[in-house]
Structure 1
């Protein structure tokens, strides 16, 4: 390894497209762009047309190719974006994420000797400025680098990469997912509503009792089984928020069942002010 690689640098931009799907992300997007600018062959930002802030201008000023596409769900948005990219190797990043400096060198090694169709790396989730080591958000690994002809995106709201063989990528992603309660609570409600709608469409049945039990288990798993208490107050808050989101999803399903029985319409999920679900 030469001195440049030891510093986490690459000699020239790689034949890798970095893909970011965004809506109302003018505050966080610059950090994401800066974290990949030194090694990405191109950066493509797929913009939700409902975006109301300066995300488009910020992305363009940061050197990104800005494309607009109607939002259906996360996997559909990203799958469309993957097909618009210049290169076959695509690295997916969220606007509230930052790629570690070593990720570029790791991608260069993959391109020099690709052994898998996709690669996963560590993700360090931050809550209230603290890196979480335990609980549901500790030890997180996500698939982000894929060859678009050998892997595909699926999963709807909670997107995932499907590939025959998935390897490991050095470095990590830093995820600024929970910065404050006012920022996070609308997001929690948004995805609880989407989750309830998906459960209803799948024919699942819910009730308040089910919500209480599932929420209680979610808390116990995160805080006790997965040692979330070792993350201090941040670990406690994350476990409580996870439990509340789980309860809310099943309570909303119960409400939607009643509306369906009364020929009512399912409500549209409230939209959070930017950001993507963790």
Structure 2
């Protein structure tokens, strides 16, 4: 008797904190997964209430937030299936991307990991330039390579994925609905990046702080065509420069 091969199974993972605005749509976009796991950093809004009332099958855990890498690795430890699909709460898997994911993992030979190209939205409007035209992240990977590099607290990446593939359909990234929300993220990420630099014994230098800040604005606004995005492009370029400036401000405080 010929043995029927089982379809590969997917664990969809989300790490969240105060995502009551996003969590319902995010989970709905990955309901095709065989299990959904949410690791919460002790939200104070209605995030867990929404999950518990509308998605009883979702597995919920809580862990105190230290940094993004530790949180992602902790979330992975709960996954039971061969494939990991990681989603941020402000991202959405489209029906077209869902179909591509399911077709790809059924192939006889697959990559160990896949980049998802992303369409970026800021304050409700799509951003077409400002560096977003090349935006992609690894979001789908086999559990055998599922470990994030612990030397990075932010902009974390997998340790050993070899030569990743790239899926053709886009993941939607609804980044921030307000300037204030993005500013808070810049400050949070800058503190984590400053800590990384401090532990690597990178010295604070005023010249480097100013030059990196200026170059980040120039790169995003001119080299990556942010000016074609109008006011949104200018705002994103400014926040990119601010991120570098604040990182070195916090690094200076680490040495104080």
TM-score normalised by L of structure 1: 0.82
Report what 1:228 is aligned to: 226
Report what 2:3 is aligned to: none
Correspondence list, 1:86-235, <5 A: 86-113=80-107, 114-154=109-149, 155-161=152-158, 162-235=160-233
Task: Name structure 2 gaps, 5 residues minimum.
Answer: 1-6
Is the 2:8–2:82 contact (alpha carbons within 8 Å) kept by the matching residues of 1?
Answer: no
Range moving further from structure 2, 215-224 or 113-122:
113-122
Shift of 1:20: 0.2
Is the 1:117–1:146 contact (alpha carbons within 8 Å) kept by the matching residues of 2?
Answer: yes
Shift of 1:151: 4.2
Range moving further from structure 2, 208-217 or 91-100:
208-217
Range moving further from structure 2, 59-68 or 172-181:
59-68
Specify the SS of the correspondent of 2:131: helix
Report what 1:22 is aligned to: 16
Specify the SS of the correspondent of 1:134: coil
Q: Separation in 2 of the partners of 1:251 and 1:72?
A: 21
Report what 2:40 is aligned to: 47
Range moving further from structure 2, 160-169 or 25-34:
160-169
Specify the SS of the correspondent of 2:19: coil
TM-align CA RMSD: 1.7
Task: Name structure 1 gaps, 5 residues minimum.
Answer: 1-12, 260-278
Specify the SS of the correspondent of 1:20: strand
Shift of 1:14: 6.8
Is the 1:46–1:69 contact (alpha carbons within 8 Å) kept by the matching residues of 2?
Answer: yes
Shift of 1:211: 1.4
Is the 2:115–2:164 contact (alpha carbons within 8 Å) kept by the matching residues of 1?
Answer: yes
Q: Separation in 1 of the partners of 2:148 and 2:28?
A: 25
4+ residue runs of structure 1 moved beyond 6 angstroms?
Answer: none
TM-score normalised by L of structure 2: 0.89
Q: Separation in 2 of the partners of 1:206 and 1:251?
A: 8
